[in-house]
């Protein structure tokens, strides 16, 4: 059975997120992009509005919504600002390993207090020499008595240095390759874990992305997630669930660019007419709208599969890859429609174009997504 009709709850949360974005995010997005800072007051308001930790079950203090609802909210939030959404949306990436592999005790101990406040989490996988090739990570974990001792450097970590909880991937034995990779929970106040250099970014600038340094970080033995050596699979299973959300945010960025381009094309007069009356512009707007609809359909399909408990590795990669490529093309076209004004910071479209670029890169480059899709096709 296929239906694109949202449930009453989904319509209500979509409206709530849309109103929130209009009131709290759009008015300040350009300022925080310029300042390259997290608007902490907005994070608190997102939390109070019940729009944070959507995917975390209610019994651990989250909102317990399904994947489609999460995607609907992510689209609305990214319509307002990709970077601001990325700051609290990143909790989905960082907490999913705990939801997938955590024991009941770990969920009680870590999720409940985390979700009781507007806390941020960080997912620490990438390293200077291990981006697409996760198997190359060098951060080590050594068991000493009843404690794990972690050492290494992570890079490009969203919320690095400002998170209250870190999910850290480290190797217990480099000679074992991916079979040595293990996932750990590290509370943000643990001595030895701290934020390093904060990155200066092209776009996505209202999010805090930095190195995370681990220097003899000692955590209790029971902070290991799942089996020792299962970290790579946990990371891949996590990305299967979160890549569709990157797709949803890319749809939000693209939809905003289309709305800005439509508004401008109706107002801007050249040769005595609004430029929207020229077919050259109409065809661009039509292509933008078509691509956005197709991208959202792929995102919702992947989310629907996840909601049914199905494996959606291929569909999640398709949704992320297609939607982020769409966001890039649509935002470039929006800048083109706005012409010289589009290139200037007084209008929001140049920011959308800068923001769109990262969606083709993070949570696996679009080359990696194509590789994942190709492998899945060959398996089928
Ligand atoms: N779910 C469950 N298990 C998975 C899986 C998935 N989605 N993907 C891979 N695995 C398992 C495989 O089944 C295999 O298990 P066995 O050894 O038991 O057979 C194992 O993991 C290794 O898989 P594979 O051979 O595909 O690993 P590769 O080293 O070739 O790496 C890629 C695969 C490149 C796809 C992976 O490293 C990747 O996604 N890289 C990008 C990482 C990324 O997104 N980084 C961004 C950081 S987050 S901002």
Quote the longest CA-to-CA distance of the chain. 80
* 257, 370: one domain: yes
- State pTM to two decimals: 0.97
**Catalytic option among 34, 129, 363, 376:** 363
Q: Which residues line the pocket of ligand 1, CB cutoff 6 A?
A: 125-126, 132, 134-135, 178, 232-233, 236-237, 239-240, 313, 362-364, 368, 371-372
Burial of 351 (0-12, 13-18, 19+ CB in 10 A): buried
Q: Quick one: how many helices (H) and strands (E) in the chain?
A: 12, 10
- 211 and 263, same domain (yes or no): no
Spatial separation of the C-alpha atoms in residues 324 and 246, rounded to whole Å: 8
Are residue 361 and residue 296 in the same domain, yes or no? Answer: yes
Residue 179: domain span: 121-229
Cα 255 to middle of ligand 1, angstroms? 31
Domain-ending residue, one of 210, 229, 248: 229
Kindly state whether residues 136 and 109 are assigned to the same domain: no
Q: How many domains does the chain have?
A: 3
3 within a domain of the structure (yes/no): no
Give domain status of residue 218, yes or no.
yes
**Residues 206 and 339 reside in one and the same domain:** no
On whether residue 305 sits in a domain, the answer given is yes
Same domain, 89 and 153: no
Please give the chain's pLDDT, 380 residues, in tens: 578 999 999 999 999 999 999 999 999 999 999 999 999 999 999 999 999 999 999 999 999 999 999 999 999 999 999 999 999 999 999 999 999 999 999 999 999 999 999 999 999 999 999 999 999 999 999 999 999 999 999 999 999 999 999 999 999 999 999 999 999 999 999 999 999 999 999 999 999 999 999 999 999 999 999 999 999 999 999 999 999 999 999 999 999 999 999 999 999 999 999 999 999 999 999 999 999 999 999 999 999 999 999 999 999 999 999 999 999 999 999 999 999 999 999 999 999 999 999 999 999 999 999 999 999 999 97
The token duo for 312 is: 């959606």
Residue 1 lies in a domain: no
| 185, part of any domain | yes
Geometric angle at alpha carbon 119, from 197 and 39, rounded to 5°: 65
Residues 193 and 325 in one domain: no
Q: CATH code at 27?
A: 1.10.540.10
Q: Which of 80, 114, 148 is the last residue of a domain?
A: 114
* 363 in catalytic set: yes
Torsion of CA 293, 298, 301, 303, to 10 degrees: -100
Q: Is 252 left (phi over 0), alpha (psi -120 to 50) or beta?
A: alpha
């Amino acid at each position: 059975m296929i239906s694109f009709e949202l449930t009453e709850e989904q319509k209500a949360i979509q409206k709530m997120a849309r109103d929130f974005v209009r009131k709290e995010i759009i008015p300040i997005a350009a300022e925080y992009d310029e300042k390259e800072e997290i608007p902490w007051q907005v994070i608190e308001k997102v939390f109070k509005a019940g729009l944070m930790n959507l995917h975390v079950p209610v019994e651990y203090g989250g909102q317990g919504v399904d994947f489609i609802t999460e995607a609907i909210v992510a689209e609305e939030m990214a319509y307002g600002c990709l970077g601001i959404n990325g700051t609290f949306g990143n909790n989905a990436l960082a907490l999913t390993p705990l939801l997938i592999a955590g024991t009941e005790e770990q969920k009680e101990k870590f999720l409940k207090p985390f979700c009781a406040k507007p806390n941020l989490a960080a997912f620490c996988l990438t390293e200077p020499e291990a981006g697409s090739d996760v198997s190359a990570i060098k951060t080590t974990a050594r068991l000493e008595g009843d404690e794990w001792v972690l050492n290494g450097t992570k890079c490009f970590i969203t919320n690095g240095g400002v998170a209250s909880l870190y999910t850290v991937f480290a190797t217990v034995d480099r000679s074992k390759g991916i079979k040595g990779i293990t996932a750990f929970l590290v509370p943000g106040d643990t001595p030895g874990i701290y934020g390093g250099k904060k990155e200066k970014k092209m776009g996505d600038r209202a999010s805090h992305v930095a190195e995370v340094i681990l220097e003899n970080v000692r955590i209790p033995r029971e902070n290991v997630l799942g089996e020792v050596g299962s970290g790579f699979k946990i990371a891949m299973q996590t990305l299967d669930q979160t890549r569709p959300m990157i797709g949803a945010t890319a749809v939000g960025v693209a939809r905003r660019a289309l709305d800005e381009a439509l508004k401008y094309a109706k107002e801007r007069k050249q040769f005595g007419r609004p430029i929207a009356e020229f077919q050259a512009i109409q065809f661009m707007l039509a292509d933008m709208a078509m691509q956005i609809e197709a991208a959202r359909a792929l995102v919702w399909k992947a989310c629907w599969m996840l909601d049914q408990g199905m494996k959606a590795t291929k569909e999640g990669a398709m949704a992320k890859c297609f939607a982020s490529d769409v966001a890039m093309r649509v935002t470039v076209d929006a800048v083109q429609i706005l012409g010289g004004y589009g290139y200037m910071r007084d209008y929001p479209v140049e920011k959308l174009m800068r923001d769109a670029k990262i969606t083709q890169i993070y949570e696996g480059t679009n080359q990696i997504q194509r590789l994942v899709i190709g492998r899945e096709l060959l398996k089928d």
